[in-house]
Structure 1
């Protein structure tokens, strides 16, 4: 131990204290942590000692760095606004941080060990410009420093109760330190900072690491996307040499853009002799490796490209989240007039379109009310699928705040979205057309073999879309409606009388005995939909009765369907004015001897959809359809697309009855 030596900083006590102003406790602690990091520490522990009443009595900061160079104090402690640490923006390079203690404590004491020598440095806040330094032996040294071989421990004592009240709880301090040192903890996984033995963890983030090769020079790049806005300075790229000294920094160009928070940390030995010409420490004779160097320019371009990729991914992810929230709030068209499968296609297409717009201009839907958002999405949907869809780009180009490069990217996204929709739609119709061709071939070539119920029932249940987009499959929640409708039909004597089979009801070649071995199929569905003429919701009820294959439809079956419509109209469960019914009667063919069905079809043509035979202006309508008209309706509706598809129908001719039945009983969503 030696006699304490008193030394003085080249500035007055008042000047030192005046330069600090107000400083939060965590910021004061961070100054000592940064000093430890600048000294090469990999393990820093902050100890906050409290009294029985919970107030802070003293604070300790321990590190395992290289220790203070106490033999050359003229290069560090003697200086104010200067330090031996000359690297650009190295946190301790201004020599101020060690004085921050005076805002909370009366005394700061440093125990340090460097190159097997120990020293103690003491500063009293009442005489802050003066400090004492003395060499000490091992027994006066802190045990953790001795076990580490080097390091520094700072003890802040004399914290009054008044000052103690300004120090927040440990959880708050750890959160602030997490924001301050998060990037260090992420980039250097071996670094440990703790408070009262509890490790500080970095804030939520995403880390993108890779090696960048520029003209044979290898740069280790760590780009961090912060989930929340970090504390401190703007969004920079930081460039460090092989000893992890910061040599240069530049703005990323994405300074908190659309809540996108990014920092880049690039390390390479290429920066060992780098000279930042903007630094006040710049030499008159600038090194070849300056901030105007070609290698640096290429590196910055590569970093901009990589950051832009991360930014685009961020925008797309955020756009998807926004669009999903729009869907949850009911902003998208419901497409109730479409089948379940068609509805899925339309929703997916519109979601992709809106997502592309949100990626191109994240503020496009900002500030809009729910009704405005619904209107815009509805218009985008209609325009994108109409014959005028090419004008969509022109309209949006005049509205969105995009440069040419961004507009080209957006146009590419819109085109891809449209192409995806067209391809999926054509593929969807292709599958349905194949089903129609198989069924036509089945009825033509295997009519006598396919008359048994299991065959036809399986086919119908897998392809109920044949009867119109408003009907797909029955859901579990519709069982009550289906059972009620079925029981109502089977409890009416007049309706049941229509089930009796006579010779005049049969198609050519069928027998009464064979017909009695079959049963009629009954399908029902209830769903909420929208009247597009009034924009009002109503309950659409569809009931389909498929007569057994051996029966040709005639006036008896028409009367049976109309009687069923009367029963529905009078039943208490179904007399709600918001309920509208379609009763659809389907058969193999309409009897050649029948005139009533044919006349009704002719009289009501064009008044309520194909096959309408009664109730054109009523809430309950009755339809009669044969399989041939169902097939023809499909082909007429999709003729333009079907011509382009050029489906090879001839391939069906070699298939057996069983092969066709097996294929047709698989729902399209499961078919390959």
Structure 2
């Protein structure tokens, strides 16, 4: 039976039917899914010349009921699908144009359809034919009872032109189908929907980078609850021209869409959100995007507003995670390759400094990627360099204030960045590491002085000067009182420091020993607990006697220190019971007498102790003991720093330092210079 469409042939031509074969095939596939199909298959066979005789599109949908044929094929721009749904981009044939899309690449279209008659319950089938040259006419014929009791439609397109076997198998066409139908197949994955080519299902998941399903319950003012299934998708590449929230009814029909807030992002965050709920079953929307109405109420409906807020929170969270895991890594790699980051030396603390900069740049990028986008290489280097300068000072906290003045920062973003910036000031960490490294260098120089140059090194010209600048060897938090000065000046400066006097007072001593000159006298302002009392604290003081490297510490050297100890106990300003005194004598070796003293005082539990009386103690140490104490105390950090001792030796050699007296003077200067770098 021959029938006519409600308009003429020319009207169909001018109705905006696509001329692109990919779009045309997609329209015909959508017709199958719109007919409630779960499987659609494109079947074709190309010969040796890549020519295709026919293309068949089959689906297992509900078929085309003959009783409604006049409304489906007889109407144009007013199909049943348009009447049943106000607005949906998933129902592609809603204006009745989809069936005519075949004219983009075929002369003849024949629909062989099986449907179930609602009155008799029988499965009936018939054919519908349209020719491209006479497309305003459609013919239905071969009405019969179907031998197969399954509904569905098989559309055979023949006399093809403009397409070959390659047209339907190339990567561009496959990617087009995945982009067009991937979201629909994903939402219906649990229902086993499929789109196939010659029986092989298209693997749509290879264009999906990430997806996650959320369940949400939103209530209105009256306490009525509405359930929503939210599917978040991040695509591996851009799908379409914009990013939307898509709102679907319980039958997964898209009824409305709204732009997300990341349509102008510059970080390749390709995303979509699909929201399914019976809440949208009665959704009414005009053709103007964004003017949708819910149950006759405008889009400010409380449930819809609360839903949108939740959707935005999900997208914001996902975007930040994407930036942190993906986009930020790309930015950091780019900055590494292009030399945007400042140069950092290949040692532990320089690399820690670089890590600090990278973490802050990453966090700022997560807060607002645009800050680092669209910049020239010079601008990139300037911005990163500026951040690096602030991080290396006590002003690092101002980064947050500066950023806050550029972009709007949420409370969570502010807290995350603030916590990062409030970590121990990296400048303090660097100063500590620099201090340890500098002290390690001092140790190596002192070793050169007392071991390699021991034949040319003496107390007055070399060792006293070197140790006076490095009294940290005997403990932190000490103050230098004097170095190689008579006891009158020792007492004057000591009282000035301990009693916090405005200026050193002139002190006159009557004791004949007042002219004696201890090599080094340091005192600790901070008190230490007194083990013999619960109420009093002890004030700790140290005197050091330095011997030439070739002097062996024995009884006579110990006697000299005991003289100092006796002198201190005789002075009323020195001998309070709450003052603790330690005396050290140091050289390269100790004799058997000193070793016996070690054994005699071993029960005190103090290494190097050779004399103890009340609050007074005498220690005899070798230079190796002093250096080893430092190495043991800082072993972990020194190992991490990979401190290069050979570099010190090479540096001395480059300066022409050899085994002579002049070299001892030169090394002493190096030690003092290294000490100056410690403070």
Q: TM-score range by the shorter chain?
A: 0.5 to 0.7
Provide the aligned length of Structure 1 versus Structure 2: 473
C-alpha separation in 2, matches of 1:361 and 1:270: 35
Counterpart for residue 179 of structure 1? 179
Which of 232, 249, 254 pairs up with 2:262? Answer: 254
Pair 1:26-2:22 in alignment: yes
**Kept after mapping to 2: 8 A contact 1:275/1:291:** no
Which of 580, 584, 589 pairs up with 1:507? Answer: 589
Counterpart for residue 200 of structure 1? 202
What aligned pairs does 1:104-503 form with structure 2 within 5 A after superposition?
A: 104-115=105-116, 116-137=123-144, 146=148, 149-160=150-161, 164=164, 167=167, 169-189=169-189, 190-202=192-204, 203-215=207-219, 216-231=225-240, 234-255=242-263, 257-258=265-266, 259-276=268-285, 287=295, 291-317=299-325, 318-336=327-345, 339-340=347-348, 342-370=349-377, 372-397=379-404, 400=406, 402=407, 404-405=408-409, 411-422=414-425, 503=552
SS of residue in 2 equivalent to 1:117: strand
Larger radius of gyration: 2
Counterpart for residue 675 of structure 2? 610
SS of residue in 2 equivalent to 1:364: helix
SS of residue in 2 equivalent to 1:324: helix
Counterpart for residue 77 of structure 1? 73
Which of 45, 52, 63 pairs up with 2:48? Answer: 52
Aligned pair in 2 of structure 1 residues 167, 261: CA closer, same or farther (>3 Å)?
same
Counterpart for residue 15 of structure 1? 11
Q: Which moved more, 1:290-299 or 1:109-118?
A: 290-299
Deviation at 1:59, TM superposition (A): 0.6
**Kept after mapping to 2: 8 A contact 1:349/1:421:** no
Counterpart for residue 99 of structure 2? 98
Aligned pair in 2 of structure 1 residues 120, 291: CA closer, same or farther (>3 Å)?
farther
Query: What are the Cα deviations for residues 447-499 of structure 1, in whole angstroms up to 9, with x where unaligned?
Result: xxxxxxxxxxxxxxxxxxx99xxxxxxxxxxxxxxxxxxxxxxxxxxxxxxxx
Query: What are the Cα deviations for residues 290-337 of structure 1, in whole angstroms up to 9, with x where unaligned?
Result: 64432122112211221121122223331233113323544333443x
Structure 1 length-normalised TM: 0.61
- Point out where structure 1 has 5 or more consecutive residues left out of the alignment: 441-465, 468-499, 522-539, 546-560, 570-579, 586-593, 612-632, 638-672
C-alpha separation in 2, matches of 1:124 and 1:136: 20
SS of residue in 2 equivalent to 1:137: strand
Aligned pair in 2 of structure 1 residues 114, 279: CA closer, same or farther (>3 Å)?
farther
Query: What are the Cα deviations for residues 267-290 of structure 1, in whole angstroms up to 9, with x where unaligned?
Result: 11222233336689x99x983676
Deviation at 1:172, TM superposition (A): 3.0
C-alpha separation in 2, matches of 1:244 and 1:395: 47
Deviation at 1:99, TM superposition (A): 0.4
Query: What are the Cα deviations for residues 398-455 of structure 1, in whole angstroms up to 9, with x where unaligned?
Result: 5x4x2x345x66544432221235399769969x99xx9xxx9xxxxxxxxxxxxxxx
C-alpha separation in 1, matches of 2:114 and 2:356: 68
**Kept after mapping to 1: 8 A contact 2:232/2:273:** yes
Deviation at 1:510, TM superposition (A): 6.5
C-alpha separation in 2, matches of 1:292 and 1:365: 36
Query: What are the Cα deviations for residues 161-185 of structure 1, in whole angstroms up to 9, with x where unaligned?
Result: x565994644432221111001012
C-alpha separation in 2, matches of 1:335 and 1:164: 58
**Kept after mapping to 2: 8 A contact 1:542/1:582:** no
C-alpha separation in 2, matches of 1:102 and 1:265: 33
Pair 1:61-2:61 in alignment: no
SS of residue in 2 equivalent to 1:300: helix
SS of residue in 2 equivalent to 1:23: coil
- Point out where structure 2 has 5 or more consecutive residues left out of the alignment: 117-122, 220-224, 444-471, 474-548, 554-586, 597-621, 629-642
**Kept after mapping to 1: 8 A contact 2:323/2:366:** yes
**Kept after mapping to 2: 8 A contact 1:8/1:130:** yes
C-alpha separation in 2, matches of 1:349 and 1:100: 59
Deviation at 1:541, TM superposition (A): 7.0
C-alpha separation in 2, matches of 1:255 and 1:82: 33
C-alpha separation in 1, matches of 2:163 and 2:662: 100
C-alpha separation in 2, matches of 1:278 and 1:582: 89
Deviation at 1:111, TM superposition (A): 0.7
Deviation at 1:97, TM superposition (A): 0.6
C-alpha separation in 1, matches of 2:177 and 2:279: 31
Counterpart for residue 526 of structure 2? none
Aligned pair in 2 of structure 1 residues 133, 58: CA closer, same or farther (>3 Å)?
same
Deviation at 1:360, TM superposition (A): 3.2
Query: What are the Cα deviations for residues 86-113 of structure 1, in whole angstroms up to 9, with x where unaligned?
Result: 3222222111010011121111000111
Aligned pair in 2 of structure 1 residues 542, 320: CA closer, same or farther (>3 Å)?
same
SS of residue in 2 equivalent to 1:381: helix
